[in-house]
């Protein structure tokens, strides 16, 4: 996740989403569900969405209003979701809905919903400030008929099923944030070494050195938090606090230290493609590649 994100965080996020959904299927899906969905998901032919968030149910999942109620023949899905990754393009979604409105967390279930089915309405694609290749949008469900085989795992265990993979998702996003910070550090170091002012590289100025050092130490601190949380997950220990701390710290670091990296570039930091000595320098996997700049007519 870190290496992919160092190149392009949207790609890393898509891989993380595939991992999250595949983990749900392997842990809770029937043999038939796995055979139907896993090949397409793992080959990137089937695009997926993980659907929990609603206008009244973000961190507080108890505010969820989407329902899947039996009409005597099948479950009928009604409600809506917001801020859902891949909503504008997904083929299938794993949707958390209330099957017993009076049972609280114990009255929620997960359903595998075909997004091409009648009654599934996609909202407009949101125009995000970054990671634009990873599309986000809303979903509305208007009397969507759900066959019996759409239920994932046991009825009433939906909250626990969806929460079971969130720690893995948190540490994945934390690693993604480390990759963003690492890319900023690499780009800043390369630019500072090549940019000349007052007849020497700006990397020789103490103010720039301090800025690079602050980026480097925070990237490394975030990386260590990620690895510590990942080790706890691998060991089967309770890793919720470690994964949450890693995600929070690494995300804050990525935003703040990316802004610092932009400052090293000066005005060039606000332009797509940093031009150095007639070349474009782009962050890669711990190295840089140069390509000639193509003039536009």
Q: What is the pLDDT of the chain when averaged over all its residues?
A: 90
Residue 285 pLDDT exceeds 90: no
Residue written as tokens 């932009």?
262
Q: What angle do CA 94, 99, 100 make, to 5 degrees?
A: 150
Give the pLDDT of residue 225: 98
Query: Structure tokens of 116?
Result: 């091409």
As a whole number of angstroms, the longest Cα–Cα distance in the chain is 81
Give the pLDDT of residue 273: 65
Distance of CA 32 to the CA centre of its chain: 28
* pLDDT digits 0-9 by tens, 41-74: 999 999 999 999 999 888 788 889 999 998 888 8
Residue 141 pLDDT exceeds 60: yes
In terms of Cα–Cα distance, which of 5, 280, 277 is closest to 289?
Answer: 280
When pLDDT is averaged across residues 283-291 and rounded to a whole number, the result is: 43
Domain boundaries, the chain: 2-154, 166-291
In terms of Cα–Cα distance, which of 64, 76, 69 is closest to 142?
Answer: 76
Give the pLDDT of residue 93: 97
72: left (phi over 0), alpha (psi -120 to 50) or beta: left
When pLDDT is averaged across residues 227-240 and rounded to a whole number, the result is: 96
One fold for both 2-154 and 166-291? Answer: no
Distance of CA 214 to the CA centre of its chain: 26
The domain defined by 166-291 carries CATH number 3.40.50.300: no
Measured in residues, the chain has a length of 297
* pLDDT digits 0-9 by tens, 16-42: 999 999 999 999 999 999 999 999 999
Q: Which of 53-67, 161-175, 218-232, 236-250 has the lowest mean pLDDT?
A: 53-67
Domain spanning 2-154 has what CATH number?
Answer: 2.40.110.10
* pLDDT digits 0-9 by tens, 78-89: 999 999 999 999
């Amino acid at each position: 996740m870190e290496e992919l994100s160092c190149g392009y965080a949207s790609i890393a996020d898509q891989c993380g989403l595939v991992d999250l959904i595949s983990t749900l299927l392997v842990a809770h899906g029937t043999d038939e569900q796995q055979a139907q969905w896993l090949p397409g998901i793992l080959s990137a032919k089937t695009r997926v969405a993980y659907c929990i968030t609603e206008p009244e149910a973000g961190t507080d999942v108890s505010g969820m209003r989407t329902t899947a109620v039996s009409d005597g023949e099948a479950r009928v899905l009604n409600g809506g979701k917001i801020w859902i990754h891949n909503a504008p393009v997904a083929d299938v979604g794993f949707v958390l809905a209330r099957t017993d409105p009076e049972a609280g967390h114990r009255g929620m279930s997960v359903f595998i919903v075909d997004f091409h089915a009648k009654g599934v309405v996609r909202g407009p694609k949101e125009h995000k400030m970054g990671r634009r290749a990873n599309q986000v949008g809303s979903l509305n469900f208007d009397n969507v008929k759900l066959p019996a085989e759409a239920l994932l795992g046991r009825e009433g265990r939906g909250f626990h099923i969806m929460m079971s993979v969130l720690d893995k998702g948190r540490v994945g996003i934390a690693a993604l944030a480390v990759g963003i910070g690492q890319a900023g550090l690499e780009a800043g170091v390369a630019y500072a070494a090549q940019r000349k002012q007052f007849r020497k590289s700006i990397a020789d100025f103490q103010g720039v050195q301090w800025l690079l050092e602050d980026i480097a130490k925070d990237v490394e601190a975030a990386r260590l938090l990620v690895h510590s949380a990942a080790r706890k997950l691998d060991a089967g220990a309770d890793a919720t606090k470690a994964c949450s701390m890693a995600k929070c710290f690494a995300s804050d670091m990525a935003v703040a230290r990316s802004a610092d990296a932009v400052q090293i570039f000066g005005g060039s930091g606000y332009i797509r493609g940093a031009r150095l000595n007639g070349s474009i320098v782009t962050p890669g996997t711990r190295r840089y590649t140069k390509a000639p700049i193509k003039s536009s007519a």
